[in-house]
Structures are given as structure tokens and as C-alpha cells.
Amino acid sequence: MGGFRQGIEAAVPALRRYARALTRNGELADDLVQDTLVRALRSEHLFHGGDIRSWLYTILTNLNRNRLRALARRPALQAIEDNDAPEVAGPEAGARDIERALASLVEDQRSALLLVVLEGLSYREVAQVQGVPIGTVMSRLARARMQIKAYLDGERPALRRIK
Amino acid sequence: MIDQNPPVTEEELHAYVDGELAPDRRAAVETWLASHPEDAARVAQWRAQADAIRARFGVLASEPVPARFDLDHLARGARSWRGAAAAAVVLAFLTGGVVGWMAHGASAAAPSRFDTFTAQALEAHKVYVVEVRHPVEVTGAERPHLVQWLSKRLDYELRIPDLEPSGLKLVGGRLLPGPFGPAAFCMYEGPSGERFTIYYARTDSPQTAMRYREADRFAALYWVERGLAYVVSGPPERERLLSIAQAAYDQIDKNTPQAK
């Protein structure tokens, strides 16, 4: 019981980081984290050992997927996802580039890449979080990296220009 | 010599970057990279991408954790459901039409009340938002009078939130017959003429989280707090309605209204 709570508590900073990178929106990210925590606390009885962190990532990833699915049903709101902040020069610009490059990814690819490079999960853990075979995780990673490169090289997909 | 090893695959290159490569292939991949500059460049790019991502977001993990994530608080379900419930509510209806999530785990919030109040509020909303000349009885210019009058009639110290920060001007309010006595009704207007209303009525239902309903061309968010039912109605855009309802909730909550 205590260990369960402690495990969750210890994961909060990393969850916030992941949620933030995933959504690129601080408020949304913290709402996601909070709901993840609420859900985890309510589902303690469903947790049968294993890695708490992976379990939390799984909840958060699914919540975010549901959120996007709901948004997709209402195209009018799609603009919310388009975090087109005004252009900034200087050191901010680099950070914004990678943020936008991430934004150009398909959700599952973004999630796979972030779980690996930002959260340090193994391919096996990511496969569990995403509920897919390892091979799928690897192809998502490969496509994510290709897309980011293409984006940074200036091939901004026309898709993102839609407002 | 190199060629005795099976050729390095792209998968192995990714695994190499991510520290997932089988140890016995490590040397082979490094030898391969030394003689394949294009692959070496790709590996370098992937590493640079990862560095950029970590540089951009890594610091967030060392920020102090805000109080809203306090687990005891979240577990308790919290009186101020701006905490646990608000987020859960946001998700509850973002995940699509789920209206049943309640604060406190209280199953007591009778759906019939929800139905009744929401139906009444939406009805009033429909009738009055199209009204051009007489949308309200008392205009927003007379806010103090409006508050005093409606509070007196409901026998409850009402708070009529200022939604200017959400881009909505108070048009005014009126008194309505409610399901169990008088109800108060306030109207707000946005820059492009879109109208939102807040419906207030006394209730003995226990406190609930926000619940969402869409009907026709309108949508409503309902909640109960300290003996008063609130229904915020407007165009059927969940996020917009939610953000307005939350702004209203925050102000109402901050001012802690009390039943007289």
C-alpha cells in the first residue's frame, strides 16, 4: 500500500515531463497527469505488481489517445492541437523547432519516441505501454525519426498548414 | 573480416542508438558505421534529435511538483474538486459523452435532478438567447441590483461571475420559475454574438462534479455545489463550454457562497 503510493509519487515528475512533451501544452499535460493519478489511485486493486512507472505511462498514453480520438470527431476543434505560437528568434527557436517537429508526428510515433528517448523505457516496456509487438514499436521509432529529420530539413508537411 | 558478420540492419542502428543492441553485435555495428558514413550520419542525427528532445523537456522533471498532485488529496476525492474531479471531468467528457463521473464517488446525485435542471435550463436558454430586444429583465449594467434581487428571491447569496476574461460580457439576468421554486438565469454574450447562460436553482442534491449534455444545437454543463444547482448552457462546443464553466466555478467557489 505504502509502496504503491510511493511508487506513484516518485513517478509524478517524469509523468509531467512525458505529458508535456506529448501534448506540448502545459495545462493539458497537467490535467492528463492528474487524471492518470486519480485513475491509478482508484485502480490500485488492478495493479498486480510489476513496474508502476510503466503502468502509469500506459494509463496516461491511453487517456491521451482517447482525448485525441474525441477531438478528431470534432474537426472544428482541431486547431487546439496546433500550437502555432508566434515566431521567436534566439535560443527559443531551436526548442520550438523540435517541439514542432514532434507535433508533426502521428500520436503513436510521438509516444514511442518520447518513451524511449525522454523517459528511457526499453523497447519491451514501450511495447507493453502501447499494447503492440516490439516490431511495431521499432517501426514507429524509425518513422518518427525519419519524419523529424524531414521536418527539420524543411519539408513541413502541408497538413500542418491547415488552420 | 567485416563481411563475416551479417550486414547491419536499420533496426540495429536504432537499437544501437537506444542502448538496446545485443552486446555481441555492438562491435559489428561500430565497425559498420566506421565504413558507412551515411549510416553514421543518420545515427548522429537521431542522437541529436534525442538530445534536443531531452534539452527541451528534460528540465520539467526537476520542477517542483505542484500541490494539485498531492496523492492524499487526490485519493480523498477532495472537497475542492477543482483538484481531482475537475481533471477527471475534463477527461470524462473528452473521452466522449461520459457524463457519469462524480466527485466523492457519491452515487447519490440523482440523475433525475440532473435531467430536470438541465432540461429546464436548456429550455430557458433556447427561449432567451434568440431574444434580441428583451433577453433579460435586469441588465448587466445593474449588476449589484441583479445580484441582490436574485439572491433574495432564491434565498441564496448568488455569485454572478465576471466572465470578461473569457471574452463574455454580462448581458443581465432574469427570474424564472424552476422545478422546485424560483430559478435565476443570467446571460452572457461573446464578441461574435454567441450567448451563454447560467441557470441557478436551489436543490437538496449532494455536490456533484460537472456533467455534460448536448441537446439540439445547444449544450449544458451541470453541477451542484453547496445546495445550489448550476447549469451553464451555450453552443455545443465542449472545450469552450467547459472553460467557461470552470471560470464561473472558480469565481463562485472562491467567493464561497453560503445558503442563508
Determine contact, residues B32/B61, Cβ cutoff 8 Å.
Answer: no
What angle do the packed helices B84-94 and A26-42 form, to 10 degrees?
Answer: 100
ipTM, interface predicted TM-score of the complex = 0.83
Nearest Cα neighbor of B113 from B102, B105, B98 is B102
Q: Output the pTM of the full model.
A: 0.54
Interface of B with A in 115-144 (CB under 8 A): none
Determine contact, residues A21/B83, Cβ cutoff 8 Å.
Answer: no
Superfamily of structural domain A2-161: PhyR, sigma-like (SL) domain (1.20.140.160)
Please report residues of B whose CB lies closer than 8 A to that of A116: 18
Query: Which pLDDT score, from 0 to 100, does residue A134 have?
Result: 95
Determine contact, residues B206/B224, Cβ cutoff 8 Å.
Answer: yes
Closest CA in chain B for residue A13:
B61
Q: Determine, for residues A9 and B71 on separate chains, whether the beta-carbon distance falls below 8 Å.
A: yes
| Amino acid residing at A129 | V
Cα-flanking dihedrals φ and ψ of residue A111, to 5°?
Answer: -60, -45
Q: Please identify every stretch of chain B with a pLDDT value under 50, giving residue numbers as ranges.
A: 1-2, 78-85, 91-111, 257-260
Which residues, in sequence order, are CB contacts of B208 under 8 Å at separation 6+? B102, B103, B106, B109, B114, B222, B223, B224
Measure Cα distances from B188 to B122, B151, B174, B232 in Å.
Answer: 15, 18, 12, 10
Closest CA in chain B for residue A40:
B75
Listed by start position, the domains of chain A span 2-161
Angle, CA of B62, B92 and B96, to the nearest 5°: 125
Mutate to test the interface with B, among A24, A31, A119 (most CBs of B within 10 A): A31
Task: Pick B10's closest partner by Cβ from A5, A20, A142.
Answer: A142
- Judged by a CB distance cut-off of 8 A, whether residue B1 touches chain A is no
Out of A25-34, A45-54, B119-128, pick the least confident: A45-54
The number of residues in chain A equals 163
| Helix/strand/coil for B183 | strand
Query: Which pLDDT score, from 0 to 100, does residue A71 have?
Result: 66
Listed by start position, the domains of chain B span 2-62, 104-254
Of the pLDDT bands very low, low, confident and very high (cuts 50, 70, 90), residue A153 is: confident
Provide the CATH number for the domain formed by B104-254 in this structure: 3.30.200.100
Pairing mode, strands B169-178 and B181-189: antiparallel
Of the pLDDT bands very low, low, confident and very high (cuts 50, 70, 90), residue A47 is: confident
Q: How many CB atoms lie within 10 A of CB B22?
A: 10
Q: How far is A118 from chain B (nearest CA, A)?
A: 6
Separation of alpha carbons B91 and A31, rounded Å:
8
Instruction: Tell me the CB-side half-sphere exposure of residue B237, using CA atoms within 13 A.
Output: 13
What angle do the packed helices A134-152 and A123-130 form, to 10 degrees?
Answer: 100
Q: Determine, for residues B96 and A69 on separate chains, whether the beta-carbon distance falls below 8 Å.
A: yes
Closest CA in chain B for residue A138:
B11
Mean pLDDT of A139-162: 78
Query: Which pLDDT score, from 0 to 100, does residue A91 have?
Result: 52
